Amino acid sequence: MPPLDALQWAVALLALFLVGFSKTGVSGAGTVAVALFAFVLPTRLSTGVLLPLLLVGDVVAVAVYRRHADWPRLLRLSPWVAAGVVAGALVVGWADDAQMRRLIGGILLAILAVHLWNRRRGPDASLAHHRLIAALAGIFAGFATMTANAAGPIMALYLLAAGLPMLGFLGTSAWFFLTLNAFKVPFSVALGLITPATLAFGALTAPAVLAGAVAGRMIISRIDRKFFEWTTVALTLVAAVRLLV
């Protein structure tokens, strides 16, 4: 772990607050957290630092929204996500930070463009109902989360396209990311991304994630669905551009 100055610590804690906030509130805030972490730590290192902290937020989200998951959809995604994680682990072994960031940024922009086009088709004709789209969403999400902890915007756009109600969106996301991030742990340990130093950092900063999760839970009941959707889209665009620049 490289040493951090006061400004870097402030940015890191804000990013972790947004991680918790995205788990129980506006999911798009997680994309901003990824972008902020890029100011503090290299992309490759940040995946190992963030993973245990993401799991903290996932456990809180599941405890709050566990009854609202769309389990048939989760089960359809599972094998494709696993394949994406394996592919991402292979890429992490040889790609440098700049290559990984550009790749994830390009994937996010492509998926965002498809989402906006798909939105014009209407809920009945949504591409999210096709098995091929579910497979691609699962593969891209698994790949993006393994390489840059950036699966959040991919799954957010997929679940929005599927037309899930807000609580269904949050419950499905909560279970999805808890199982996904737990599945990633052995790969991250084998790749040297999770170390005693990253775990110590996680133990020190976990309260910021918990504070964000509490804030998200308090505000979600006051958020309009359209605002929720467009905020998620806007924050995805910000994260994609930040990764590409």
Dump pLDDT digits (tens) for 10-38. 989 998 999 899 888 877 677 777 767 76
Task: Return d(Cα 75, Cα 67) in angstroms, integer.
Answer: 16
* Tally of domains in the chain: 1
Residue 174 in domain: yes
Residue 172 in domain: yes
Cβ count within 10 A of residue 160: 22
Residue 1 in domain: no
Using an 8 Å Cβ cutoff, are 168 and 58 in contact? no
Residue 157 in domain: yes
In the Cβ-directed half-sphere of 197, how many Cα atoms lie within 13 Å? 7
Question: Domain limits at 200?
Answer: 6-244
Phi, then psi, of 29 in degrees rounded to 5? -60, -25
End-to-end CA distance of the chain: 24
Using an 8 Å Cβ cutoff, are 235 and 32 in contact? yes
Whether residue 88 has pLDDT greater than 90: no
Residue 44 in domain: yes
Helix (H) or strand (E) holding 47: helix 43-65
Alpha helices, DSSP H, located in 149-224 = 151-161, 166-190, 196-219
Give, in degrees to the nearest 5, the angle at Cα 144 between 13 and 59: 50
**How confident is the model over 91-125, as pLDDT tens digits?**
877 777 777 777 777 877 877 777 777 767 666 65
Residue 147 in domain: yes
Using an 8 Å Cβ cutoff, are 12 and 44 in contact? no
Task: Return d(Cα 57, Cα 180) in angstroms, integer.
Answer: 13
* Residue bearing tokens 């279970």: 175
SS3 148: helix
Cβ count within 10 A of residue 228: 20
Q: Is the pTM of this model over 0.85?
A: no
Using an 8 Å Cβ cutoff, are 170 and 68 in contact? yes
SS3 53: helix
SS3 121: coil
- pLDDT, residue 1, reads 63
Residue 238 is encoded by which pair of tokens? Answer: 């910000």
Residue 133 in domain: yes
pLDDT bracket for residue 224 (50, 70, 90): confident
In the Cβ-directed half-sphere of 19, how many Cα atoms lie within 13 Å? 34
Helix (H) or strand (E) holding 73: helix 71-92
Residue 205 in domain: yes
**How confident is the model over 123-145, as pLDDT tens digits?**
665 666 678 888 888 898 888 87
